[in-house]
Homo-oligomer: A and B are copies of this chain.
Amino acid sequence: MKLTLEEIGRMAGVSRSTVSRVINNEKSVRPEVRQRVQDVINQTGFRPNAAARSLASNRTGVIGLVIPHRVHTLFDDPYFPLLIQGVSQASNTAEATLALFIFQTEAEERDLYPRLVGSGTVDGVIITATRMGDPLLTRLAGGDLPYVVVGRPDEAERVTYVDADNHGGSRAAALHLCNMGYRRIGYIGAPTSTTAGIDRRSGFLEGLAVCGATPTDDLMRDGDYTEESGYLAMRSLLSSRPEAVFVATDTMAVGALRALNEAQVSVPNDIGLMSFDGLPPSERSLPKLTTVRQPVTATGVRAVELLLGLVNGDIEGPIHEIMPTELVIRESCGAARLLETDLSND
């Protein structure tokens, strides 16, 4: 027997409409009737048909998470898994269904937009911003599908987004290294074709400026988010003899550490090291990395909340939300060692 509102109504002695009211938790149903209907629903395990509901209400209860192509780092870096976890968690809480769109090629990505928008498969999307001038973002901006960007997008003003405090976190990292007495501080950055790369770099430079240090070009390198690129950058950086290096991601820092190991340069005895992200790899390395932790899972959760707010009309965009970062002092910067030998040092 296929269950429908009508059928449940018959069993409870009410109409389809009343059952609908009970299910959607609308007022104006007498408590006793509500109870009677609810009992039948519980007994039968009835669930309203999602397609019919969508068709009639023009809402699907599905939100999309879009991860553009060119994110080769997807599975080289725990960032995306953690983000997915946050988004998934918040979706479950809100009883929304999470649709995941991961693209390997530009073509797949191009096909997405029509698939997403015209057909009304999703109520809205969360899209991770990767590079400047993402065409998908442009199309989204032109359409009327609600969306939230994770990471500061290129044209940020008119867009609702959630981002980590990349600038502030990197600034704090630079200050920390300065305060520890390091002067020649190197930098291994993320690509400046991404806003995260730009912001972390500018934060780092600002931090140095605050303590009166100016970095020279020979102390600056760029990586591409991969472990290997961190390894290569550090190899190249070594000849400039930095006293400390700030690496813009944990994963690249792990690569940098590998280069230092190979070169028999001891961390933190011979060189101080800091990274950004605060993901598991930073804690698993030897020595453990001093890092700037960004709340990745929380970012995902917040993105869902904002998106649902937008979809429901509870909030009005654009909203910009910056998630705070946190300095996590472990071994690689040498602070632990300093504390041991000189407790007066802060």
Contacts and interface: CB of A to CB of B under 8 A. Distances in A.
B97 A103 contact: no
Contact of A118 (B46, B88, B100, B103): B46
For the complex of A and B, 6 pairs with smallest distance between CB atoms: A47-B118, A51-B54, A75-B81, A51-B55, A88-B102, A47-B119
Nearest to A83: B75
A69 B5 CA distance: 32
A62 interface: yes
Interface in A42-66: 45-52, 54-55, 60, 62, 65
A115 interface: yes
Contacts of A76: 78, 280
A132 interface: no
Contact of A51 (B51, B74, B227): B51
Contacts of A62: 99
B50 A119 contact: yes
Nearest to A65: B100
Contacts of A75: 78, 81-82, 85, 280
Contacts of A103: 92
A19 interface: no
A47 B280 contact: no
Copies in the complex: 2
A182 interface: no
Given A75-B85, A89-B104, 8 more contacts: A3-B118, A46-B118, A47-B118, A51-B51, A51-B52, A52-B55, A80-B81, A99-B100
Contact of A88 (B51, B101, B114, B258): B101
A30 interface: no
B55 A60 contact: no
A84 B102 contact: yes
Interface in A154-213: none
Contacts of A258: 284, 286
Contacts of A82: 75
A114 B92 CA distance: 14
Contacts of A98: 99-101
A340 to B, nearest CB: 19
A49 B280 contact: no
A108 B85 CA distance: 14
Contacts of A100: 65, 84, 88, 98-100
